Amino acid sequence: MSGLKNNVTVRYVQAEDREDWIRLWLKFIATYDDPKLPKGIENANFDRFIDPQVKMWSAIAFLKDDSTGREKAIGFTDFFIHPSTWQIEDKTYLNDLFVDDDFRVGGVGRKLMEFVYNEADKLGAPSVYWNTDHFNHRAQLLYTKVGYLTEKRIYRRKGY
Ligand SMILES: CC(C)(COP(=O)(O)OP(=O)(O)OC[C@H]1O[C@@H](n2cnc3c(N)ncnc32)[C@H](O)[C@@H]1OP(=O)(O)O)[C@@H](O)C(=O)NCCC(=O)NCCS
């Protein structure tokens, strides 16, 4: 897998990427099996990504096949910015990160996170944060390299 990332390009989704993004999204959410996920959320998400009025975005990692010149979508990340009373500038929340099974541990997850960091800087919202399940050790192998673990716990309104 080493060298994989050198053949990978990350870019914002465009309207024609809907099928690729939804294919990867369905694989991503299959691992969570969340009964609260609304029906049709995939298209609602994608509509928002390509709506210039909505400050929520997605980027896809494309792997270039040198022999055919074709590109294959192999991962994605979704993120949005929001204001905070604790700082003047907006913050960036990294909502989702996924790399397709066959392409993991090749630096693609890191590349997607670096894309978000760069865009967050450009958006004036460099403080990027995210959360993960305590048992998601695989993701944390990456997160400890690109970030640090905070002391916070996440609480939620009951019923939500
Ligand atoms: C989490 C996920 C996105 C990581 O993507 P990835 O492409 O495998 O990650 P990368 O290869 O860029 O980075 C992994 C880093 O952790 C290290 N790492 C990953 N797996 C490792 C392992 N099994 N043993 C040792 N180190 C490992 C790598 O060395 C790398 O560090 P480096 O950049 O310094 O070399 C991917 O595993 C995934 O999609 N998982 C399922 C969905 C998920 O859990 N998403 C996160 C939700 S919060």
Residue 65 confidence (pLDDT): 85
Please check the confidence at residue 11 and state whether its pLDDT lies above 90: yes
Asked whether the beta carbons of 13 and 60 are under 8 A apart, the reply is yes
pLDDT (average), residues 138-158: 97
Residue 3 confidence (pLDDT): 82
Residue owning the nearest CA to atom 5 of ligand 1: 109
Please check the confidence at residue 34 and state whether its pLDDT lies above 90: no
Nearest alpha carbon to residue 144 among 130, 155, 154:
130
Residue owning the nearest CA to atom 33 of ligand 1: 107
H/E run at residue 94: strand 87-99
Asked whether the beta carbons of 99 and 73 are under 8 A apart, the reply is no
Calculate how far, in angstroms, residue 110's C-alpha sits from the geometric centre of ligand 1: 7
| CA-based end-to-end distance of the chain | 40
Residue 35 confidence (pLDDT): 79
3-state secondary structure of 46: helix
pLDDT (average), residues 129-153: 97
The atom of ligand 1 lying closest to the CA of 104 is: 8
Is any ligand 1 atom within 6 A of the Cβ of residue 132?
yes
pLDDT (average), residues 69-73: 94
Asked whether the beta carbons of 64 and 47 are under 8 A apart, the reply is no
pLDDT digit string, tens, across residues 49-69: 999 999 999 999 999 988 888
pLDDT (average), residues 5-16: 96
pLDDT (average), residues 136-146: 98
Residue 2 confidence (pLDDT): 62
Is any ligand 1 atom within 6 A of the Cβ of residue 139?
yes
Report the half-sphere exposure of 138 (CA within 13 A, side-chain side).
9
Averaged confidence pLDDT in the chain: 96
**CATH number for the 4-146 domain, one of 3.40.50.20, 3.40.630.30, 3.40.250.10, 3.30.750.80?**
3.40.630.30
Is any ligand 1 atom within 6 A of the Cβ of residue 72?
no
